[in-house]
Structure 1
């Protein structure tokens, strides 16, 4: 991949997207992961107004510090960038206490609720500052296995890196001088309040998923592990289609 060419193209795309829109720039939730670090850096390079949010919810210290250090690094490099810390732990805990025991005990429901609270925060601050939310999903997550929260981190206005697979995200992030601790960290969604990473949840690495996403050959030629990864990919792609296709609309042509 030609990193210089790709970075320039995305930055130009961001600027062109809003040139005729009455907004000032972009807002990004920075999680301490490579995807949000890359998107925040690309947005910073537009020279438009950019607000970067660190939104911890019972976050591990390492995730919190990676996020804050990346924000601080961009604020020091770009005069158009502002960083904000919005600790949402109390907000989440208040929400948690309003839920019944069945909801509170459903770990996935509560993990996704964290992402949706962050989305609401991004839209509130973004609207107040006349900014669009730049999404941080990559191609494997958004269009391969649906590894995102519907109306959480999937609730965005535009997607700058949605056509980059994870290995390309890392290449471009390194080229744009994203903090090394982020490049070294294992990818994680940070929604569970423990040390599990994306590979723990998915059962495959992003490199393996990239293989599966591109595979179009004879499955009988594959190793047992590659067959296992392909099955993981196909299962997640199938069960998460509701995230990756337009909302179904009941058509009433000929009925009304």
Structure 2
């Protein structure tokens, strides 16, 4: 009676591990998000273990039965459509219930798209926050992105191909000079990783960067306000101009992060230039 939380390839089937194949062959049941997707994987590796659907829409109904079967001695593997189960996918509830019931489980590891994108980003990864998927409604998405852009740590999130332009547009509007990295089709034939300032990245979408495949966005953390406040307002403006911002952009940025009126910063800046 055991559950094996089993990682599968993100896209390249050659990344499947011997241990994962052996596990899927020897358990009694494979729990999967979409039986059609997992069937392609099991067929490729000649695995004939029965598949059973376990996803966000039925997990509440099937978990009691799974726990009962485990008490009877059956073994299960939990897989996702690609990558490591539980990460932005169903499963943590089942793990919690197994802990409460004193049932055993093991991890059969694989990569997750967000960790691989972070590795490929060239953006500091000593401290980072994984945000998963953004909210669906535009208002909530914008509010969440404003929160992320104010975050001082590196941020990682998933985005769909039909929303990536809108998301980059919001990011560029908040801070067009912020470094972002886009990774798409990770481990697949047309794998791509691009690191640019947000406003430049926005212009590349649809041309140099194809709007196909799932996207992972890595966003550089915001500058620490505590450090920025150690210098006078005008020195702060001049420092941003030296980094490549226009005076208008620098004035707006300084006003935003310091909680000042943009007109006041504008007036002071132009007074110093007389």
TM-score by length of 1: 0.32
Structure with the bigger RCO (C-alpha within 8 Å, sep 6+) is 1
Structure 1 or 2: more helix by fraction: 1
